[in-house]
A and B are shown apart, each in its own frame.
Chain A
């Protein structure tokens, strides 16, 4: 595997990991309640369901199913490419339990409710240390089609 020219860093720490292997999908950083086992994204110290004050860190994803989506015909904040005029947004149900709202990678016709999606990293910009600042996205899994 060829070494990447630039190091990748998350836009904000504590929400997702950035694997060293660029071929590997990222995972989300969540919490599992030590008492009732409910799983949350993002991480939290107190269980939202049973109020237990003890949670443990868990990795979530990288796959989930699309609960709902929309395509926004307006420019997005913070894009590297100012030419991109629209973007998709969805809610993705992870097998561990949480429903995650996220930007989706794809065009207006690339999605259908129930399809399987996988986490991916998108480069937003380059920072002063010449690192690539990345954020998580979901994209359709290979072989998934927008029309049933």
Chain B
């Protein structure tokens, strides 16, 4: 990891997606301490902008002839762009690679509809409803209460209060009662348990280790231990119609692959950033990422182990639910936070003694990616 940069997430009126990409990319280059001429290859992640936007965005930095590839994997787009950049470097194909994600979700809001063709069958079920189905089944099987989901959400909102890049920065300590009292979206998920509509951009620059050491001699070296990506495997009761992000075991399988590749276990992870587009997802990931046994996630909540200061802090930057979830850049905002924490630069939200960070996203379609980064 040579450098990271991002724009604050939020409703950003004025700048175009390409403007946002330029701001985040230049910030990452400045953080890396190199010029754009040193970038050998770039991977650009976005979901909504028109074809060619990725290549056009890269031209903002200069015309150096570098190979540019557009990556799209729904919510997981940013981390998948990161994965491509990491593998481009570790395979020896290039020395320095850039992963850049940008999105203006607010330009899309209100343009929904039933669509045409197969979409007419799939589209009436919203992502909020899909994950609410997880929540309702969990409550049925495990006796989970809405208060568990509300605590997770309040925890993330409060983590985001000190993050200048966070979209929803509350001016007071958010309570479980406040989360539960916000408008119901899809039972049991309330508006404050659901991620907002976001705009923003984020960028990471990766380099060969010897280059990183040479360019940044005084800075703690953050390196990528593993970057895994899986799509669905068939299981009985598999669902094909409507929004599908799963089966949930996809996270377990992708995490196992990442831990094996990194040669570490979940007990060696200091903090985790996960796809909490809906707060109840995070509860499931406590188990699926191996931080507790099956059926024990509610205990982790009751003992407040996933808040800053707990055994395994989750979504230290506010998560998707507070920091925001623009789509393309979301995963790279996670990488921004992981790098910030591992360098010890997270200020009031610093995880004490952070050595290893995990970044996880799922994306519709569906896919899962798990990334492990460590401070050497």
Contact = CB atoms under 8 A, between A and B. Distances in A.
Given A48-B234, A91-B133, A71 B124 contact: no
A70 B241 CA distance: 16
Contacts of A138: none
Nearest to A15: B121
A70 B124 contact: no
Given A15-B121, A70-B186, A78-B113, A93 B126 contact: no
A42 B241 contact: yes
Contact of A78 (B124, B133, B135, B137): B124
Contact of B240 (A40, A73, A90): A40
B238 A99 contact: yes
Given A70-B186, A89-B133, A11 B240 contact: no
A113 B140 contact: yes
Contacts of A103: 124-125
A68 B137 contact: yes
Nearest to B188: A70
Contacts of B114: 77-78
Given A12-B117, A103-B124, A89 B187 contact: no
A89 B237 contact: no
A25 to B, nearest CB: 18
B241 A41 contact: yes
Contact of A69 (B123, B136, B236, B242): B136
Interface string A56-83: 0000000000011111111011100000
Contact of A73 (B123, B186, B236, B242): B186
B118 interface: yes
Interface in B235-253: 236-244
Interface in B69-118: 112-114, 117-118
Contacts of B117: 12
Interface string A6-20: 000001100100000
A12 B119 CA distance: 9
Contacts of B124: 76-78, 87, 89, 103
Nearest to A136: B121
A101 B141 CA distance: 19
Nearest to A77: B114
Report, nearest first, the 5 A-B pairs whose CB atoms are least far apart.
Answer: A101-B242, A78-B114, A70-B132, A68-B137, A99-B237
28 contacts: A12-B120, A42-B121, A48-B238, A67-B137, A68-B137, A68-B140, A69-B136, A70-B132, A70-B188, A72-B126, A73-B183, A73-B184, A77-B113, A78-B114, A87-B124, A89-B125, A89-B129, A91-B239, A98-B238, A99-B237, A99-B238, A100-B239, A101-B125, A101-B239, A101-B243, A101-B244, A102-B241, A103-B124
